[in-house]
Amino acid sequence: MNPASAAPATPVTAVPLPATGAWREGDPPGRRQWHRRGRPLALEAGGELPRVRLAYETWGRLAPDRSNAVLVLHALTGDSHVAGDAGPGHQASGWWDAMVGPGRALDTDRWFVVAPNVLGGCQGSSGPASTGPGGRPWGGAFPRLTQRDQVRAESGLADALGIGRWALVVGGSMGGMRALEWAVGEPHRVASLLLLACPAAASADQIAWAAAQLHAIRADPHWRGGDYHDAGPGQGPHAGLGIARRIAHITYRSAEELESRFGHEAQEGEQPWGGGRYRVESYLDHQAVKLLRRFDAASYVTLVEAMNTHDIGRERGGRRAALARVRARTVVAGVDSDRLYPLAQQEELAAGIPSADTVRVIRSPYGHDGFLLETDQVGALVRELLDGSPGAGGAGGPA
Protein backbone atom coordinates (compact mmCIF):
# COMPACT_ATOMS: atom_id res chain seq x y z
CA MET A 1 0.00 0.00 0.00
CA ASN A 2 1.16 3.52 -0.71
CA PRO A 3 1.44 5.21 2.72
CA ALA A 4 0.41 8.50 1.20
CA SER A 5 -2.99 7.03 0.37
CA ALA A 6 -3.72 5.76 3.88
CA ALA A 7 -6.66 7.19 5.82
CA PRO A 8 -5.69 10.00 8.22
CA ALA A 9 -5.47 9.31 11.93
CA THR A 10 -8.40 11.67 12.51
CA PRO A 11 -11.16 11.72 9.89
CA VAL A 12 -11.58 14.99 8.03
CA THR A 13 -14.80 16.81 8.92
CA ALA A 14 -16.63 19.30 6.72
CA VAL A 15 -16.12 22.10 9.23
CA PRO A 16 -12.92 22.24 11.34
CA LEU A 17 -13.59 21.28 14.94
CA PRO A 18 -12.96 23.84 17.68
CA ALA A 19 -9.72 23.36 19.59
CA THR A 20 -11.71 21.85 22.44
CA GLY A 21 -15.12 20.26 22.79
CA ALA A 22 -15.42 21.57 26.35
CA TRP A 23 -18.33 23.61 27.59
CA ARG A 24 -17.09 27.20 27.77
CA GLU A 25 -18.31 30.35 29.50
CA GLY A 26 -21.04 31.91 27.36
CA ASP A 27 -22.29 28.58 26.02
CA PRO A 28 -25.95 27.72 26.76
CA PRO A 29 -26.19 26.27 30.30
CA GLY A 30 -28.72 23.60 29.40
CA ARG A 31 -29.93 21.84 32.56
CA ARG A 32 -26.77 22.60 34.51
CA GLN A 33 -26.66 24.19 37.91
CA TRP A 34 -23.43 25.18 39.64
CA HIS A 35 -21.92 24.76 43.06
CA ARG A 36 -19.04 27.10 43.92
CA ARG A 37 -16.89 26.07 46.82
CA GLY A 38 -16.31 28.89 49.29
CA ARG A 39 -12.70 28.02 50.08
CA PRO A 40 -9.71 26.44 48.30
CA LEU A 41 -9.57 22.68 47.95
CA ALA A 42 -6.42 21.12 49.42
CA LEU A 43 -5.12 18.45 47.05
CA GLU A 44 -3.78 15.04 47.99
CA ALA A 45 -0.64 15.48 45.85
CA GLY A 46 0.09 18.85 47.47
CA GLY A 47 -0.99 22.40 46.84
CA GLU A 48 -4.57 23.51 46.40
CA LEU A 49 -7.15 24.45 43.84
CA PRO A 50 -8.09 28.03 44.73
CA ARG A 51 -11.51 28.12 43.08
CA VAL A 52 -13.70 25.07 42.64
CA ARG A 53 -16.88 24.94 40.63
CA LEU A 54 -18.93 21.82 40.00
CA ALA A 55 -21.63 21.65 37.36
CA TYR A 56 -24.46 19.32 38.28
CA GLU A 57 -27.99 18.36 37.29
CA THR A 58 -30.90 17.12 39.35
CA TRP A 59 -34.12 15.24 38.71
CA GLY A 60 -37.05 14.79 41.09
CA ARG A 61 -37.63 16.62 44.34
CA LEU A 62 -35.70 16.46 47.60
CA ALA A 63 -37.85 15.18 50.47
CA PRO A 64 -38.35 17.48 53.48
CA ASP A 65 -36.21 15.13 55.59
CA ARG A 66 -33.64 14.87 52.75
CA SER A 67 -33.72 11.07 52.92
CA ASN A 68 -34.35 10.36 49.22
CA ALA A 69 -31.19 11.67 47.54
CA VAL A 70 -29.30 9.48 45.05
CA LEU A 71 -25.82 10.32 43.75
CA VAL A 72 -24.97 9.14 40.21
CA LEU A 73 -21.28 9.30 39.28
CA HIS A 74 -20.23 9.20 35.64
CA ALA A 75 -17.41 7.39 33.88
CA LEU A 76 -14.39 8.91 32.10
CA THR A 77 -16.09 10.69 29.19
CA GLY A 78 -19.50 11.13 30.81
CA ASP A 79 -20.86 14.29 32.40
CA SER A 80 -23.76 15.57 34.47
CA HIS A 81 -26.28 14.98 31.67
CA VAL A 82 -27.47 11.56 32.78
CA ALA A 83 -30.97 11.97 31.37
CA GLY A 84 -32.64 14.18 28.81
CA ASP A 85 -32.37 15.12 25.17
CA ALA A 86 -29.48 16.70 23.34
CA GLY A 87 -29.95 20.41 22.75
CA PRO A 88 -28.48 23.80 23.57
CA GLY A 89 -25.76 23.20 26.13
CA HIS A 90 -25.82 19.41 25.73
CA GLN A 91 -24.24 17.95 22.62
CA ALA A 92 -25.46 14.42 23.38
CA SER A 93 -28.55 12.94 24.97
CA GLY A 94 -28.40 11.56 28.50
CA TRP A 95 -25.86 8.75 28.85
CA TRP A 96 -28.15 6.72 31.19
CA ASP A 97 -31.47 8.08 30.04
CA ALA A 98 -33.25 4.73 30.35
CA MET A 99 -32.42 4.65 34.07
CA VAL A 100 -33.75 8.02 35.26
CA GLY A 101 -37.34 9.24 35.14
CA PRO A 102 -40.85 8.45 36.35
CA GLY A 103 -41.33 4.71 36.66
CA ARG A 104 -37.71 3.91 35.82
CA ALA A 105 -35.16 2.32 38.14
CA LEU A 106 -34.23 5.75 39.49
CA ASP A 107 -37.86 6.80 39.73
CA THR A 108 -37.99 10.58 39.93
CA ASP A 109 -41.45 10.41 41.51
CA ARG A 110 -39.66 8.90 44.54
CA TRP A 111 -35.99 9.86 44.34
CA PHE A 112 -34.01 13.07 44.07
CA VAL A 113 -31.22 12.23 41.64
CA VAL A 114 -28.03 14.31 41.62
CA ALA A 115 -25.29 13.98 39.00
CA PRO A 116 -22.19 16.21 39.11
CA ASN A 117 -19.66 16.68 36.35
CA VAL A 118 -16.46 15.42 37.95
CA LEU A 119 -13.80 17.87 39.11
CA GLY A 120 -11.28 18.07 36.26
CA GLY A 121 -14.00 17.40 33.70
CA CYS A 122 -14.88 19.62 30.80
CA GLN A 123 -18.64 20.09 30.91
CA GLY A 124 -18.99 22.96 33.34
CA SER A 125 -16.81 21.91 36.29
CA SER A 126 -13.37 23.30 37.09
CA GLY A 127 -10.85 21.71 34.78
CA PRO A 128 -8.10 22.53 32.28
CA ALA A 129 -10.53 24.27 29.91
CA SER A 130 -12.04 26.48 32.62
CA THR A 131 -10.77 29.91 33.58
CA GLY A 132 -7.72 29.93 35.84
CA PRO A 133 -6.50 32.57 38.30
CA GLY A 134 -4.99 34.76 35.56
CA GLY A 135 -8.23 34.96 33.57
CA ARG A 136 -7.06 32.48 30.91
CA PRO A 137 -7.81 28.76 30.64
CA TRP A 138 -5.86 26.65 33.11
CA GLY A 139 -4.49 24.45 30.33
CA GLY A 140 -1.32 22.61 31.29
CA ALA A 141 -1.11 24.43 34.64
CA PHE A 142 -4.18 22.64 36.00
CA PRO A 143 -3.03 20.65 39.05
CA ARG A 144 -2.84 16.88 39.38
CA LEU A 145 -5.95 15.36 40.94
CA THR A 146 -6.82 12.08 42.61
CA GLN A 147 -10.17 10.36 43.07
CA ARG A 148 -10.12 11.53 46.69
CA ASP A 149 -9.81 15.18 45.64
CA GLN A 150 -12.80 14.71 43.36
CA VAL A 151 -14.90 13.14 46.11
CA ARG A 152 -14.01 15.95 48.53
CA ALA A 153 -15.33 18.41 45.97
CA GLU A 154 -18.52 16.35 45.61
CA SER A 155 -18.86 16.24 49.39
CA GLY A 156 -18.99 20.04 49.33
CA LEU A 157 -21.82 19.86 46.81
CA ALA A 158 -23.73 17.50 49.11
CA ASP A 159 -23.24 19.93 52.00
CA ALA A 160 -24.52 22.81 49.87
CA LEU A 161 -27.63 20.81 48.96
CA GLY A 162 -28.23 19.94 52.61
CA ILE A 163 -27.76 16.21 51.99
CA GLY A 164 -26.13 14.56 54.98
CA ARG A 165 -26.57 10.99 53.78
CA TRP A 166 -27.17 9.54 50.33
CA ALA A 167 -29.86 6.87 50.02
CA LEU A 168 -27.72 5.42 47.22
CA VAL A 169 -24.40 6.19 45.59
CA VAL A 170 -23.99 4.47 42.22
CA GLY A 171 -21.19 4.56 39.68
CA GLY A 172 -19.51 2.46 37.05
CA SER A 173 -15.90 2.40 35.84
CA MET A 174 -14.35 5.74 36.90
CA GLY A 175 -17.65 6.59 38.58
CA GLY A 176 -17.42 3.34 40.53
CA MET A 177 -13.98 4.35 41.79
CA ARG A 178 -15.45 7.55 43.19
CA ALA A 179 -18.49 5.74 44.60
CA LEU A 180 -16.11 3.43 46.46
CA GLU A 181 -14.13 6.43 47.74
CA TRP A 182 -17.37 7.92 49.05
CA ALA A 183 -18.22 4.73 50.94
CA VAL A 184 -14.72 4.29 52.40
CA GLY A 185 -13.85 7.94 53.05
CA GLU A 186 -17.28 9.06 54.32
CA PRO A 187 -19.02 5.81 55.35
CA HIS A 188 -21.61 7.60 57.49
CA ARG A 189 -22.91 9.46 54.42
CA VAL A 190 -23.69 6.44 52.21
CA ALA A 191 -26.70 4.23 53.04
CA SER A 192 -26.54 2.04 49.92
CA LEU A 193 -23.80 1.49 47.36
CA LEU A 194 -23.81 0.06 43.85
CA LEU A 195 -20.37 -0.56 42.34
CA LEU A 196 -20.35 -1.43 38.64
CA ALA A 197 -17.36 -2.71 36.64
CA CYS A 198 -14.70 -1.07 38.81
CA PRO A 199 -11.67 -2.13 40.90
CA ALA A 200 -10.26 -1.58 44.37
CA ALA A 201 -7.11 -0.26 42.67
CA ALA A 202 -5.99 0.41 39.11
CA SER A 203 -4.08 -2.60 37.78
CA ALA A 204 -0.84 -2.60 35.81
CA ASP A 205 -2.83 -3.62 32.72
CA GLN A 206 -5.21 -0.69 33.08
CA ILE A 207 -2.37 1.77 33.70
CA ALA A 208 -0.59 0.40 30.63
CA TRP A 209 -3.62 0.96 28.38
CA ALA A 210 -3.93 4.46 29.85
CA ALA A 211 -0.24 5.19 29.23
CA ALA A 212 -0.62 4.53 25.50
CA GLN A 213 -3.55 6.96 25.37
CA LEU A 214 -1.66 9.66 27.27
CA HIS A 215 1.35 9.31 24.98
CA ALA A 216 -0.89 9.67 21.92
CA ILE A 217 -2.30 12.97 23.16
CA ARG A 218 1.03 14.42 24.29
CA ALA A 219 2.69 13.46 21.01
CA ASP A 220 0.22 15.58 19.02
CA PRO A 221 2.03 18.73 17.81
CA HIS A 222 -1.10 20.74 18.69
CA TRP A 223 -0.93 19.64 22.34
CA ARG A 224 1.43 22.51 23.26
CA GLY A 225 1.88 21.24 26.80
CA GLY A 226 -1.89 21.49 27.32
CA ASP A 227 -2.03 25.20 26.41
CA TYR A 228 -4.15 25.08 23.24
CA HIS A 229 -7.59 26.20 24.43
CA ASP A 230 -7.42 29.64 22.79
CA ALA A 231 -6.30 28.20 19.45
CA GLY A 232 -8.48 28.45 16.38
CA PRO A 233 -10.68 25.75 14.84
CA GLY A 234 -8.72 22.73 13.74
CA GLN A 235 -5.75 23.66 15.95
CA GLY A 236 -6.47 21.47 18.95
CA PRO A 237 -4.84 18.07 19.65
CA HIS A 238 -7.54 16.27 17.71
CA ALA A 239 -5.32 13.55 16.24
CA GLY A 240 -3.93 12.59 19.65
CA LEU A 241 -7.29 12.57 21.40
CA GLY A 242 -8.81 10.66 18.49
CA ILE A 243 -6.15 7.95 18.76
CA ALA A 244 -6.62 7.79 22.52
CA ARG A 245 -10.34 7.30 22.04
CA ARG A 246 -9.78 4.50 19.54
CA ILE A 247 -7.44 2.69 21.95
CA ALA A 248 -9.87 3.11 24.82
CA HIS A 249 -12.91 2.06 22.83
CA ILE A 250 -11.29 -1.23 21.86
CA THR A 251 -10.94 -2.01 25.57
CA TYR A 252 -14.55 -0.97 26.23
CA ARG A 253 -15.97 -3.59 23.84
CA SER A 254 -15.45 -7.32 23.63
CA ALA A 255 -13.54 -9.09 20.88
CA GLU A 256 -16.59 -11.28 20.26
CA GLU A 257 -18.85 -8.27 19.69
CA LEU A 258 -16.42 -6.61 17.29
CA GLU A 259 -16.08 -9.86 15.35
CA SER A 260 -19.83 -10.44 15.13
CA ARG A 261 -20.55 -6.85 14.06
CA PHE A 262 -17.68 -6.21 11.67
CA GLY A 263 -15.68 -9.35 10.98
CA HIS A 264 -13.08 -8.91 8.24
CA GLU A 265 -15.37 -6.82 6.08
CA ALA A 266 -14.26 -3.69 4.23
CA GLN A 267 -16.12 -0.45 4.80
CA GLU A 268 -18.77 -0.06 2.11
CA GLY A 269 -17.31 1.63 -0.95
CA GLU A 270 -13.71 1.38 0.34
CA GLN A 271 -10.83 -0.96 -0.44
CA PRO A 272 -8.37 -1.53 2.43
CA TRP A 273 -5.69 -2.65 -0.02
CA GLY A 274 -6.03 0.68 -1.76
CA GLY A 275 -5.98 3.00 1.22
CA GLY A 276 -9.55 2.39 2.38
CA ARG A 277 -10.72 1.07 5.71
CA TYR A 278 -12.17 -2.05 7.22
CA ARG A 279 -15.61 -1.65 8.77
CA VAL A 280 -14.20 -1.85 12.28
CA GLU A 281 -11.79 1.00 11.45
CA SER A 282 -14.69 3.14 10.26
CA TYR A 283 -16.49 2.37 13.53
CA LEU A 284 -13.51 3.53 15.58
CA ASP A 285 -13.16 6.67 13.45
CA HIS A 286 -16.82 7.45 14.14
CA GLN A 287 -16.33 7.02 17.89
CA ALA A 288 -13.27 9.30 17.78
CA VAL A 289 -15.07 12.14 15.99
CA LYS A 290 -18.06 11.89 18.35
CA LEU A 291 -15.75 12.40 21.32
CA LEU A 292 -13.82 15.27 19.71
CA ARG A 293 -17.07 17.23 19.39
CA ARG A 294 -17.87 17.05 23.10
CA PHE A 295 -14.66 16.54 25.07
CA ASP A 296 -11.37 18.18 25.91
CA ALA A 297 -7.96 16.54 25.51
CA ALA A 298 -6.48 18.09 28.66
CA SER A 299 -9.47 16.95 30.74
CA TYR A 300 -8.96 13.48 29.29
CA VAL A 301 -5.35 13.55 30.49
CA THR A 302 -6.32 14.90 33.92
CA LEU A 303 -9.01 12.27 34.48
CA VAL A 304 -6.99 9.33 33.16
CA GLU A 305 -4.10 10.29 35.43
CA ALA A 306 -6.54 10.48 38.37
CA MET A 307 -7.85 7.02 37.51
CA ASN A 308 -4.29 5.69 37.52
CA THR A 309 -3.87 6.90 41.12
CA HIS A 310 -6.89 4.92 42.29
CA ASP A 311 -5.99 2.65 45.20
CA ILE A 312 -8.59 2.44 47.94
CA GLY A 313 -5.99 1.14 50.39
CA ARG A 314 -3.46 3.98 49.99
CA GLU A 315 -2.62 5.42 53.44
CA ARG A 316 -5.44 3.29 54.91
CA GLY A 317 -3.56 0.15 55.83
CA GLY A 318 -4.14 -1.64 52.55
CA ARG A 319 -7.18 -2.60 50.49
CA ARG A 320 -8.63 -5.13 52.90
CA ALA A 321 -8.59 -2.66 55.79
CA ALA A 322 -10.07 0.07 53.61
CA LEU A 323 -12.90 -2.09 52.27
CA ALA A 324 -13.79 -3.15 55.81
CA ARG A 325 -14.69 0.50 56.53
CA VAL A 326 -17.73 0.39 54.21
CA ARG A 327 -21.00 0.48 56.16
CA ALA A 328 -23.42 0.84 53.26
CA ARG A 329 -25.66 -1.96 52.01
CA THR A 330 -23.60 -2.89 48.97
CA VAL A 331 -24.07 -4.64 45.67
CA VAL A 332 -21.00 -5.25 43.52
CA ALA A 333 -21.55 -6.12 39.86
CA GLY A 334 -19.32 -6.80 36.88
CA VAL A 335 -19.77 -7.62 33.22
CA ASP A 336 -18.97 -11.17 32.12
CA SER A 337 -17.33 -9.99 28.86
CA ASP A 338 -15.38 -7.06 30.37
CA ARG A 339 -11.72 -7.31 29.38
CA LEU A 340 -10.73 -3.93 30.86
CA TYR A 341 -12.11 -4.36 34.41
CA PRO A 342 -12.51 -8.14 34.64
CA LEU A 343 -14.74 -9.90 37.15
CA ALA A 344 -11.81 -10.85 39.38
CA GLN A 345 -11.54 -7.20 40.41
CA GLN A 346 -15.20 -7.08 41.45
CA GLU A 347 -14.72 -10.35 43.33
CA GLU A 348 -12.04 -8.63 45.42
CA LEU A 349 -14.48 -5.85 46.28
CA ALA A 350 -17.30 -8.23 47.18
CA ALA A 351 -15.01 -10.32 49.34
CA GLY A 352 -13.73 -7.30 51.26
CA ILE A 353 -16.89 -5.24 51.82
CA PRO A 354 -18.72 -6.58 54.90
CA SER A 355 -22.28 -6.14 53.60
CA ALA A 356 -21.66 -7.36 50.03
CA ASP A 357 -22.55 -10.88 48.96
CA THR A 358 -21.26 -12.60 45.84
CA VAL A 359 -20.61 -10.58 42.70
CA ARG A 360 -23.65 -10.04 40.53
CA VAL A 361 -22.79 -10.83 36.93
CA ILE A 362 -24.21 -8.67 34.15
CA ARG A 363 -24.54 -10.87 31.08
CA SER A 364 -23.63 -8.89 28.01
CA PRO A 365 -21.79 -9.25 24.70
CA TYR A 366 -20.72 -5.60 24.89
CA GLY A 367 -17.72 -5.83 27.19
CA HIS A 368 -17.02 -3.05 29.70
CA ASP A 369 -19.74 -0.85 28.18
CA GLY A 370 -22.28 -3.41 29.32
CA PHE A 371 -22.78 -1.50 32.57
CA LEU A 372 -24.08 1.43 30.47
CA LEU A 373 -26.08 -0.59 27.96
CA GLU A 374 -27.70 -3.38 29.98
CA THR A 375 -30.09 -1.07 31.78
CA ASP A 376 -32.67 -3.76 32.58
CA GLN A 377 -30.10 -5.80 34.49
CA VAL A 378 -28.54 -2.76 36.19
CA GLY A 379 -31.98 -1.33 36.95
CA ALA A 380 -32.89 -4.51 38.83
CA LEU A 381 -29.82 -4.03 41.04
CA VAL A 382 -30.77 -0.39 41.72
CA ARG A 383 -34.29 -1.42 42.72
CA GLU A 384 -32.94 -4.15 44.99
CA LEU A 385 -30.96 -1.57 46.95
CA LEU A 386 -33.58 1.16 47.01
CA ASP A 387 -36.71 -0.87 47.80
CA GLY A 388 -37.35 -0.59 51.48
CA SER A 389 -34.76 2.15 52.07
CA PRO A 390 -35.78 5.04 54.39
CA GLY A 391 -36.29 7.46 51.50
CA ALA A 392 -38.54 5.16 49.47
CA GLY A 393 -41.63 7.14 50.37
CA GLY A 394 -40.56 9.86 47.95
CA ALA A 395 -41.30 13.55 47.96
CA GLY A 396 -43.74 14.23 45.20
CA GLY A 397 -43.37 14.55 41.44
CA PRO A 398 -40.40 15.69 39.38
CA ALA A 399 -39.24 19.24 39.91
* 3-state SS, one letter per residue, for 322-361: HHCCCCCEEEEEEECCCCCCCHHHHHHHHHHCCCCCCCEE
Residue 299 is a catalytic residue: no
Q: Which of 149, 311, 338, 369 is catalytic?
A: 338
- DSSP string across 280-317: HHHHHHHHHHHHHHH--HHHHHHHHHHHHT-BTTTTTT
Answer whether 194's CB lies under 8 Å from 385's CB: yes
* Eight-state DSSP code of residue 169: E
CA distance 125 to 24: 10
Answer whether 200's CB lies under 8 Å from 345's CB: yes
Q: What is the pLDDT along the chain (399 residues), one digit of tens a residue?
A: 333 333 444 454 667 899 999 999 999 999 999 999 999 999 999 999 999 999 999 999 999 999 999 999 999 999 999 999 999 999 999 999 999 999 999 999 999 999 999 999 999 999 999 999 889 999 999 999 999 999 999 999 999 999 999 999 999 999 999 999 999 999 999 999 999 999 999 999 999 999 999 999 999 999 999 999 999 999 999 999 999 999 999 999 999 999 999 999 999 999 999 999 999 999 999 999 999 999 999 999 999 999 999 999 999 999 999 999 999 999 999 999 999 999 999 999 999 999 999 999 999 999 999 999 999 999 999 999 999 666 665 443 333
Element (H, E) at 153: helix 147-161
CA atoms 33, 38, 40, 42: torsion sign: negative
pTM beyond 0.75: yes
Answer whether 269's CB lies under 8 Å from 164's CB: no
Q: Which of 282, 310, 368, 389 is catalytic?
A: 368
Residue 173 is a catalytic residue: yes
Residue 149 is a catalytic residue: no
Q: Which of 173, 192, 254, 299 is catalytic?
A: 173
How many Cβ atoms are within 10 Å of 173's Cβ, its own excluded? 26
